[in-house]
Structure 1
């Protein structure tokens, strides 16, 4: 197995396990890959699916594993014990991103998506996003799932305080074919 090919493992026992912008490695593996706490890493899973996350070290992490949550696993198309490549990537701050919510996660919510979910999620967090990936935002008793429709620069960037966040357009409707999205309802 190549040095940067690691085994996907469950992050549930690690603090910040629900944050889909973070993955964890052992300190030994971070040193081996010349990574530092807070570096952006490009993760590659099955069928060339990619995600960019921030890397942190965990004391309980094993050297041959990458610890990621279910959202990151789904974005990469991997299961636990599948191989994931991890490498440093220099990611630019985004000028703008466009995200849309999934309609089934909006049930009972009638407020402003930006103020209610996106602004608190991204505020001073410097979160990486990848075009085509999804992420969950937990606010109060509600969780809304969003999909990254576009990033500038593309295909990934870091959402900084200056990044414009757009969420206009009709919510996405899930299909019954493995979570694929009906793209016909998007505003062009």
Structure 2
């Protein structure tokens, strides 16, 4: 006679060890990128090269997202892979802008309503990203305002388009594994 007190394992449920491992790697990735930001020799001035480096960094960010989308859709655990992708990509994006704001504030002292150290620049970047804008730090010069506006536009793209694409990649990966029935596509 079969033991009816034991329930079959839930389909698609991850072992706790695997989940914890992925979450620790994700946290470690974000911590490592943040540590590199604080350790990086940001002693150059703000010039055209700085803007080129920001654009190159954003292009690399876009390449990372494109690569991760493919990896997520083919991953054994697409949801965990998406968490890892966000844990690397989002801090990288924020730290690119933060370093640029830091260099700008260092080169042109009146660019912001107060001087920015690295922590202030990171704080400002995150408040712009989160769209809360506390008002204690504000861009003052035209260059600072243009840069902040560019970040806001890219933020909207990042939150809207990239999040949708990442979730779609997760959905494709989950379907490929046969964990859930297909979800109808959004016709809008």
Structure 2 length as normaliser, TM-score? Answer: 0.24
Which structure: greater helix fraction?
Answer: 2
